[in-house]
Structure 1
Amino acid sequence: MADEKLGHGSNPPQEQPHEPLPKTYNQLLGTNNPTKKSWPELVGVTAEEAEKKIKEEMPEAEIQVVPHDSFVTADFKPHRVRLYVDLSNKVIRIPGIG
């Protein structure tokens, strides 16, 4: 009780930030991070078309065309996009960063 009279029992008022907190991780990092992480609209197009579209949106992307039944490493690379294709070279899975 004596502590409350001396001001020890309460927290000082907090200064409110002028800008709202970011809602997403990308918003926090800014434009250094790609905003798009996958391309669902590319399922069904050829690997060449998909690569062209991804490079338009993410020029630094390292594109890997992978047959659908191939084994791949599980490591994560922020600039790699794998295109899983069928026998007719059409994308069969949603391409994504990793």
Structure 2
Amino acid sequence: MSGDSGKSSWPEVVGLSGDAAKQKILADRPDVQVFLVPVGSMVTTDFDTKRVRVFVNTAGYVAEVPNIG
């Protein structure tokens, strides 16, 4: 769990569409920003407690467990 409130990881959304995963994450944690990112994309390495990156495959489905950061 994160230091704030609520969840910090969403294993249950793996395999869902990116949009469905984003809605689920925002329902659990409306205080975070959710970004859909293609698998293999270059991303910054900084840690942000208000950011969740959702890595999606070429078909638009969640390929990795989204986490705060």
Same fold, TM-score > 0.5, yes or no: yes
Deviation at 1:25, TM superposition (A): 7.9
Give structure 1 stretches of 5+ with no counterpart.
1-23, 27-32
TM-score by length of 2: 0.92
Point out the structure with the larger helix share.
1
C-alpha change, 1:56 and 1:68, in structure 2 (3 Å) is same
For residues 23-38 of structure 1, the aligned pairs below 5 Å read 26=3, 33-38=4-9
C-alpha change, 1:85 and 1:75, in structure 2 (3 Å) is same
For residues 1-98 of structure 1, the aligned pairs below 5 Å read 26=3, 33-98=4-69
Point out the structure with the larger strand share.
2
Higher relative contact order (CA 8 A, sep 6+): 2
Following TM superposition, the consecutive aligned residue runs of length 4 or more in structure 1 with deviations greater than 6 angstroms are none
TM-score by length of 1: 0.66
Give structure 2 stretches of 5+ with no counterpart.
none
Aligned residue pairs total: 69
RMSD of Structure 2 on Structure 1 (CA): 1.6
Which of the pair has more CA radius of gyration? 1
Q: Which amino acid is 1:53 matched to?
A: K
